[in-house]
Chains A and B, each alone.
Chain A
């Protein structure tokens, strides 16, 4: 996963951030909270303008809302990634609906945090995404556990790559701890592994989430059942 661009960026001074949200007040609030920790290179309030400016300005990280007029965050990611594949996306939303969260992740976002996140945590999350890692909030970890638990292996039909359809027990452990409110550092200490390894596990889970072809995932998101 590491290319020259990435490694030079990782140690760069401040991540360049682009904001996409249809609420002016919210964008202003985020800008103020982020302060000097990042460089905000622009903002947009709808899909077309967002795609155009993201492609033009090539930010490190795009912070975007799941719900946007005319298309939603998912469309922004899909369209911008074709023209600017190196740009990374972090979904920032008030939505609790699992189908929103899962679809924006599957479109290519590297993480999902809720809008009630504190300024410091948000900066941390942006840094992490800029560095190529995945950001899982407790809620996202919960969704993912739920989604993969809803697909019991014995029902597994023909699949291109069975590896993609299941979480390893270690990944499950990591996700559980995150869902319990542990930070990556605390997860690492609890499991006696390095933070880097935690990040690797989380990135692997993100990859599975994006690449699995299991139709159950879509099915789960629309109709969560009792286990």
Chain B
């Protein structure tokens, strides 16, 4: 389900943007937008100036609030330009999200129970709206794509709510914040002769809080951000120190060993190879150096392990190429045993200086090729008492429902092809 969603989204990116003259569709504008691009889209579709549309929305919002509702509705129903589906359609198709949203139901019931038990009227009446907001929020957040999410997250900066913006924005902020503070105080202070009704008190406090947030929010955000940046920097520094320590340990050790073994070229190559392998495993596969004996659970890791093992034991270079990967099962372990046997054979008998080990995981089968450019042999000449090839490789493969093909020619080297079917493919 998740995969499908992602793929769908990528697909719509790959599409060419529609030419401007195509004005038949109501689409949100990705270029001319402050929040969701609704006003931009409407102005493009109807040919009205975008500022007028924005003012209309603002006026409708201030008087009665229907501007906000209209904007939200349009945002849900109009697809972003160049996309196939609107957020609304995506939400309706997102069944996993629906399930997630329904998970808020227990919370709703809990609220009801608490509200009834303690006889708090507002709590029971607020429960439904709260539930709808939470569920809707989850659904929307899941179905708004990441680029738009990022845009919305930075909306406060553009509206001038956040620090670092211009002096005019700061002024606006102070004015709005002060107005909210005054408004809140006014709501709380008027009618001081009577006890204040609960709703009124709540509303007053909310307005006051909003004023405080508008005034000081940016400052808090900055402090939080600085703290986060500092923590990240510390983590990075620790990582660097860790890396330096590890590189120190393993590389310097190896260099020291190489200096001491300078009269033995084979040993030097072997040391350099094993160091290279360790570093690679760490840099590219994230395996921690020195942590030997970690459980090998995938085919690619197992093939690399075979190469490492043979390199160390037989002082030979094994070049590994693996295409695809899959978890190991018994049948594949059999295949790998045969592959190890073939690689060891090549290392022992071929006389070549390097072996190519290639493994490919396909949907219905796994194949491994072991190839050397050594002296090769005639298959018919192998004495029947030398059962290595026959027993270990061919019989083993047949037992596992696979097959082994050995090709060799004198003077040209040998290639062993091992194939095993995959069960339960996908």
Contacts and interface: CB of A to CB of B under 8 A. Distances in A.
Interface string B345-370: 00000000000101011110000010
Interface residues of A, number: 27
B192 interface: no
A97 B361 contact: no
Interface centre among A176, A180, A182 (most CB of B within 10 A): A180
Contacts of B121: none
A138 B358 contact: yes
Interface in B93-124: none
Nearest to B372: A181
Given A96-B280, A180-B356, A181-B358, A146 B14 contact: no
A136 B264 CA distance: 33
A92 interface: no
B53 interface: no
A227 interface: yes
B75 to A, nearest CB: 25
Contacts of A83: none
Nearest to A98: B284
A176 B369 CA distance: 10
Contacts of A66: none
A157 B14 contact: yes
Contacts of A182: 371
Contacts, number: 71
B162 interface: no
B151 interface: no
A142 interface: yes
A186 to B, nearest CB: 9
A202 to B, nearest CB: 16
B321 A219 contact: no
Interface in A175-227: 176, 179-182, 213-216, 219, 224, 226-227
B167 interface: no
A180 B323 contact: no
Interface in B352-396: 356, 358, 360-363, 369, 371, 373
Contacts of A180: 321, 356, 358, 369, 371, 415
B327 to A, nearest CB: 7
A197 to B, nearest CB: 22
Interface residues of B, number: 28
B11 interface: yes
B298 A142 contact: no
B322 A142 contact: yes
A105 interface: no
A227 B363 contact: yes
B7 interface: yes
Interface string A116-157: 000000000000000000000011011001100100000101
Given A138-B358, A157-B11, 18 more contacts: A97-B283, A138-B321, A141-B321, A155-B7, A157-B10, A157-B14, A158-B14, A159-B14, A176-B358, A179-B360, A180-B358, A180-B371, A180-B415, A181-B356, A181-B373, A215-B13, A227-B326, A227-B363
Interface of B: 7, 10-11, 13-15, 280, 283-284, 298, 319, 321-327, 356, 358, 360-363, 369, 371, 373, 415
Interface of A: 95-97, 138-139, 141-142, 145-146, 149, 155, 157-159, 176, 179-182, 213-216, 219, 224, 226-227
